[in-house]
Chains A and B, each alone.
Chain A
Amino acid sequence: MGSVFRSAEMSLCQIFLQSEAAYTCVSELGELGLVQFKDLNPDVNAFQRKFVNEILRCDEMERKLRYIDKELKKDDMKIPDTGENPKAPAPKEMVDLEATFEKIESELREVNTNAEALRRNYLELSELKEVLKKTQNFFAEHGEGHHTIVDDAQNALVHDEMATTSATAVQLGFVAGVIPREKVPAFERLLWFACRGNVFLRIDEIAKPLEDPVTGDAIFKCVFIIFFQGEQLKLRVRKICEGFRATLYPCPESSQERSEMLNGVSTRLEDLNTVLHQTEDHRHRVLANCLKEIRNWIIKVKKIKAIYHTLNMCNFDVSHNSLIAECWTPVSALENVQQALSHGTELSGSTVPSILHRMHTKETPPTFFHTNKFTKVFQSIVHSYGIASYQEVNPALYTIITFPFLFAVMFGDLGHGFIMFLFGLWMVVMEKKLMSSKSDNEIWNMFFGGRYIIMLMGLFSVYTGFIYNDAFSKSLNMFGSSWHPNYSEPLLDSVETLVLDPEYEFDNVTGPYPFGLDPIWQASKNKITFTNSFKMKLSVILGIGQMLLGVMLSLVNHIYFRNPLNIFTEFIPEIVFLLCLFGYLVGLIFFKWATFTVHCSTCAPSLLIHFINMFLFSYTMPNDNFNYQCDHTNPKLTGCKATTVFYRYQNYAQIALVLGAVLCIPIMLCIKPFVLRARHNRKIRVSIES
């Protein structure tokens, strides 16, 4: 179904849908997933479109489903994911769905309100129980002098002018209640200020937390008791308690009444507990009933909404009672679209078929790539740089190999690469199971989405690991090193470092290490210097090679779009510039590798210096008796160093290349804009004349 080489050929189609069949046809097209509808009503407001009522109904249904979902989450009931993908139901069934949701929502709301009221009741009774228990303690006789709390209060509040004997005790009123723990300090302060110190307050903490009826959170509260004298203070105390949301409870004075009340409250609490449990069970049953269906419902409602959004984009033709839609679809998929349309018409029971016909247009079609699970990740990496325009060459095809390969060139470790490969392989083999577990973890999803690329990167890294001879940063010696030191044993034992001259200590008979870097470099001090030079040259070769591939692909684009102006003003200067400067550098690298041996190593040119001098037009010529051959002649005699010219007529060749490259720059920059401007002016003149 289309190649990876270019984006798929698209065609603009017009579809005539009969009103009865429109819904099912769009549903079938949606399931197919190969059609992009154009919005034919861009100026119309969202709330003035044709199917706005149905969309409002869908919004309402979604709201109810969200509410049910929230309730399920509150009870920690996980929605089972069967992987089913139900189709959108017919519009008649929408009414049934609405009724079902309405019923479930109202039932849930009712149960919740009841449960909340019960819990509130439970909270009040628990608090009352605590108040009764604690006031029991407050009023209990304690201490040697059998002081009761009332005596304490009397002593605190009543002035000394009165008789200190308890015979003339003034009647004190009191209130008892419960207040949240965090409000206690502010409460005490305000009481002191507002009542000018004429109240006596005692606080005792409730050890275990109580449950908030609405949210279910644990709240810590304290029991308090306030003694005061007179009606005015009583009113003030009540107001302060109201302001701090402290609940007051009627507390009888005598100990016997209190214990009776306590028993009564305890029995009521037990009864409430049972009722609460039953309510919770009922709620659980309601929720369990919808647990199986809710995922399907959510999908169905989403599909209904999407269908109506799509229908809103169509034009309504009143004369023929049909909807006209315009859409983009790949040419290769036209038959499938036709089939889907006829299937949809069949399902809806309409006798008039829906018509699809291709339109010709000058508009640029959208870019569409067919991807499978393997190419998807490479295509998305390319998309992050930008999406290709219609029918341009698709870089993703080459990225499949170049991306993992260049990664491997940078990674280059046999051992770590193998581990990476195994990780990728595991993810690929367990694909189905891992995909169905549907994790929320973003980082895991990123890794899992890139399983193919991770596997390839690991595999290529194993290869480059062999070339760099690097396994967990150690070298493998599989074939025997080609360097044989020529030193005596005692010398080897006594000295720490020795120099191995490649002229004498390198085995020229058997040749170099067959595959990869010689393991002797692991032991050498100048390993980094050597491998740096190798890796830099390799990077330059690979990089410029890839750039050359890119420029060649642009040539393919220019030929396909029949754009000779681009070939002459873009491609040719680009390729000349690239090859004259950087292609030449790559050539020099290969030349140096091929022709310079150990015998003329002092004359081996430093490519970096030569490249810089090329742009500075500065050349160091060797002495006259230098014959540009690699032999044992004395470097001092020939005057050749790393910076001297190393092949005949090098200076002339390089000057020519630099001038050629520099000439390309104005060609690239200046010619095309003027040509385009001339074309544009000509077009305007023609349109004015006609």
Chain B
Amino acid sequence: MGSMPEMYFNIDHGYLEGLVRGFKAGILKQGDYLNLVQCETLDDLKLHLQSTDYGNFLANEPSPLSVSVIDDKLKEKLVIEFQHLRNQCLEPLASFLDFITYSYMIDNIILLITGTLHQRPINELIPKCHPLGSFEQMEAIHIASTPAELYNALHTLLIAYLEDFYSFCNEMGGATADVMCEALQFEADRRAFIITINSFGTELSKEDRAKLYPRCGRLYPDGLSLLAKADDYDQVRAVADCYGGYRELFEGVGTNPGDKTLEDRFFEQEVKLMKNAFMQQYHFGAFYAYVKLKEQENRNIIWISECVAQRHRAKIDSYIPIF
């Protein structure tokens, strides 16, 4: 009966999958966003969020509220939920959740090293780190004597992480492999596109650029070699046109008002993939999708809060709708 892993999934992971689906049901809906964009002040925002899954998370904050306080509290809520999942899980879900935190750890290390390079004191940098990616000895990073070398090593670390995660999910097989491999391929390809576009006009040579591409995406190997040779945005677009699914992302992109940026299109595609992850049951992709969707929701709420706080409501509708 080894061919039916769904039969045994609930023994170890049933409670946590149920819990994560409950968390997913608490993600803000379109109706909530419509109410939020009507808020005049941050206090109105707080009042509306009281009626959602967030409840009284801002209850103990003295008024007046600021956007950074809201940001911290949103992250704190995600961290508490994630920590609960992590504390209650068994293998292999524990390794899977650890993999999710590794990306935040890598981001934190990059932040700390960049800060040290610019001579910032460690106490200023630590609060800016993402709490999901905090680990012991994080503060000892700044003693590195040659941060420049480490900087390059970090990029290879990032690529190694993505490829490791990809092979881990592939080995797990089943629905986890289906959902996660698609998500990670998209992540890898997205990085490749973003690195290429951001490197135009910098001193990064084409060979160096090629070394930064993760190899676990759909673009490997042909698309990546084409991207490495690309010189401007249109060539990148031509590469994307060869791949179904990426061609549509480049349409409608521009700097005119009413157009979206490329990052926004990538975020939308990510949200779509993550929503589809919940269509199947008995796999770990739901946990990854939940973290990603919550991150997107936090970005949305912070975007709307900033627009409200600065009274600049022109682009308040530019959040990415989730449900």
Binding site for B on A (CB under 8 A): 45-48, 52, 55-56, 59-60, 62-63, 66-67, 186, 190, 194, 236, 239-240, 242-245
Contact = CB atoms under 8 A, between A and B. Distances in A.
Contacts of A194: 143, 145
A190 B50 CA distance: 47
A663 to B, nearest CB: 47
A244 B145 contact: no
Interface string B47-69: 11011000000011111000000
Interface string B82-116: 00000000000000000000000000000000000
Interface in B119-144: 122, 136-137, 139-143
A45 B143 contact: no
Contacts of B136: 186
B60 A45 contact: no
B122 A63 contact: no
B44 interface: yes
A244 B139 contact: yes
B140 A190 contact: yes
Given A45-B38, A243-B122, A56 B140 contact: no
Contacts of B47: 46-47, 52, 55-56
Nearest to A187: B140
A107 to B, nearest CB: 15
B48 A66 contact: no
B10 interface: no
26 contacts: A45-B35, A45-B48, A46-B47, A46-B50, A47-B43, A47-B44, A55-B47, A56-B47, A56-B63, A62-B59, A63-B59, A66-B59, A190-B143, A194-B145, A236-B145, A239-B143, A240-B140, A242-B142, A242-B143, A243-B122, A243-B139, A243-B142, A243-B143, A244-B139, A244-B140, A245-B139
Nearest to B61: A63
B48 A46 contact: yes
B226 interface: no
A63 B65 CA distance: 14
Contacts of A243: 122, 137, 139-143
Contacts of B61: 63
A63 B139 CA distance: 34
Nearest to B116: A239
A46 B51 contact: yes
Given A190-B137, A239-B143, A243-B143, 4 more contacts: A46-B47, A47-B43, A56-B47, A63-B59
A60 B63 contact: yes
Contacts of B78: none
A60 B61 CA distance: 9
B62 A63 contact: yes
Interface string B258-287: 000000000000000000000000000000
B39 interface: yes
Nearest to B138: A243
Contacts of B143: 190, 194, 236, 239-240, 242-243
Q: Which of B44, B47, B59, B141 has the most CB of A within 10 A?
A: B47
Contacts of A245: 139
| Interface residues of chain A: helix, strand, loop or mixed (majority) | helix
Contacts of A190: 137, 140, 143
In this complex, the member of B48, B60, B62, B140 whose beta carbon has the largest number of chain A beta carbons within 10 angstroms is B140
A55 B145 CA distance: 55
Contacts of B141: 243
A240 B139 CA distance: 9
The 9 closest A-B pairs by CB, nearest first: A243-B140, A47-B44, A239-B143, A47-B47, A243-B139, A46-B47, A243-B143, A240-B143, A45-B35
B60 A63 contact: yes
Name which of A55, A186, A239 has the most chain B CB atoms within 10 A of its CB. Answer: A239
B108 to A, nearest CB: 14
B48 A239 contact: no
A41 to B, nearest CB: 15
A190 B142 CA distance: 13
Interface in B274-304: none
A47 B39 contact: yes
A79 to B, nearest CB: 19
Nearest to A240: B143
Contacts of B139: 243-245
Interface string B136-179: 11011111010000000000000000000000000000000000
Contacts of B137: 186, 190, 243
B44 to A, nearest CB: 4
A45 B51 CA distance: 10
A70 to B, nearest CB: 9
A55 B61 CA distance: 16
A192 to B, nearest CB: 13
Nearest to B136: A186
A245 to B, nearest CB: 7
A45 to B, nearest CB: 5
A245 B35 CA distance: 46
A64 to B, nearest CB: 9
Contact of A239 (B43, B59, B142): B142
B122 to A, nearest CB: 6
Nearest to A242: B122
Interface string B30-44: 000001001110011
Contacts of B43: 47, 56
Nearest to B35: A45
A66 B60 contact: yes
A631 B316 CA distance: 98
B125 to A, nearest CB: 12
A503 B39 CA distance: 92
A56 B47 CA distance: 8
A688 B43 CA distance: 51
B28 to A, nearest CB: 14
Nearest to B43: A56
A245 B44 CA distance: 41
Given A186-B136, A243-B143, A245-B139, A47 B48 contact: yes
Nearest to B143: A239
Nearest to B137: A186
Contacts of A244: 139-140
Contacts of B35: 45
A60 B47 CA distance: 12
A181 to B, nearest CB: 14
A239 B44 CA distance: 46
B181 to A, nearest CB: 37
Contacts of A60: 63
A59 B61 CA distance: 11
Interface in B229-255: none
A392 B312 CA distance: 57
A48 B38 CA distance: 9
A62 to B, nearest CB: 8
Nearest to A190: B140
B304 to A, nearest CB: 14
A279 B51 CA distance: 41
B47 to A, nearest CB: 5
A224 to B, nearest CB: 16
Contacts of A56: 43, 47, 63
Nearest to A48: B38
A242 B62 CA distance: 33
A63 B62 CA distance: 8
A244 B137 CA distance: 7
A550 to B, nearest CB: 37
A194 B140 CA distance: 11
Could you say which of A47, A56, A60, A239 has the most chain B C-beta atoms within 10 Å of its C-beta? A47
Contacts of B51: 46
B190 to A, nearest CB: 34
A53 to B, nearest CB: 9
Contacts of B145: 194, 236
Contacts of B40: 47
A236 B142 CA distance: 11
A479 B63 CA distance: 81
A383 to B, nearest CB: 26
A660 B141 CA distance: 88
